[in-house]
Chains A and B, each alone.
Chain A
Amino acid sequence: MTTKPRREAAVKRPISITAVVDAVGALAAGNMHGHLYMYDTNKSGGSTGFGTEELQTKARRGDQILWNCLALECEAYVAIDDIIIDRDVCEPVRKVYPGTDVAYWTGTVKKDAGPITYQIKFKLGTRDEPITTTLSSSLVG
């Protein structure tokens, strides 16, 4: 249990990236193409590509990024298995909401860099092998 000390009064909201997954479509096709919609909460900061597989999130050094996912059918199981990104720029780790087994991924942008693309591995339904995105989203400095 950590809490930010009082001197850090200007607490910044993390930039949340949400992947909306059409699990049925992705499982039927065996890939994520056309079955993934990416969004973030930094639209006013200049992020682009909303609702596509190529979200470009405007993020600078020091920004905390938080990834989570949402199934288009609320009965379907969708989870992020891994985020493949240059570890020198951001090192995402898997965490869970306290007291639950619902996971999210989070990392801090370590340095300003040009567009850094990343891929997400998704676990879908009862399929053993995760499915990796074909088109990449990116962090734009």
Chain B
Amino acid sequence: MMWRIRAFERAAEAGLANGHVAGAVHMSIGQEAVAAGVSAHLIKADVIASTHRGHGHSIAKGADLHGMMLELYGRAGGSCGGKGGSMHIADFDVGMLGANGVVGAGLPIAVGAAQGLRLLGRNAIAVCYFGDGAANRGPFLESLNWAAVFRLPVLFVCEDNSWSATTRTATMSAGPGIAARAESLGVPAVSIDGNDVEAVDETAGRLIADIRAGGGPRLLHARTYRLKGHTVTDPAPYRPAEEVAARWEDDPIARNAAELKALGLDEDEIAAIEIAETRRIAEAVAAALAAPFPETAAAFDDVQDVGRPAPGAERGLAHPLPAEHAA
């Protein structure tokens, strides 16, 4: 799974470089272990709310890769019909309720989804991914409080990559940290090394079991690192090169490869995983390149049914005179 996410994002990076992918693309290279470890414990009926950095969450939840790639390429048939792009990637068929362009906005959506699932009698949970920077926005406090008050089945997953865009989050955050904030609101929290996929897997499994057993919300604080810039086009000059170099040593995929090796897999077997995932993604890219763009009329769809915009109304009169008065 981690390899698949990495291959997808490498392809997104290349697509941006050659001009086929547009807009803001936020990559999670270096953070793949979090999504992979958490999703291992989710069923299809569970829902997730994601961040602006949502490719990994989406892929790990089982989103259709071809649909995602078409979406990045802005093509018809993309998972959002070309209306979302990277920052609004979503796949409702597998419970991926969307990446979000507004930091922290997924938190209340996830608690509401959990409440809705309960009201409708569905036996499923909600997972909310958010960044360390988002924990400084009001919705973090409101949503954790809310989830605790209603004992909702929600797992909050903080992907703490140390950075909020170009600012070191620690310089902007008071107090002893995110887990402590959660605990202060009565939400049990665990901090772990988020680059250790085994640790994520084990801890998420335990927390999700507690939630499914009716224990109420839990928070997983996963320390990781964003190995690339904030967006694909950000060279991240604000970070010391030594810091980045040191963190590449801790790349979760390399770490996992080493662990697999220690378990007895040979180099070829590990390389085969990587090759298979790269090939799978290359197929999605080829399909995206071959696909048509959406018709412009699609821009008028899915806005609203009641009072929907009329294609063509943007030119000429917004409202023509009713026939009997059109003298």
| A complexed with B | no
Interface residues of B (CB under 8 A from A): none
Interface residues of A (CB under 8 A from B): none
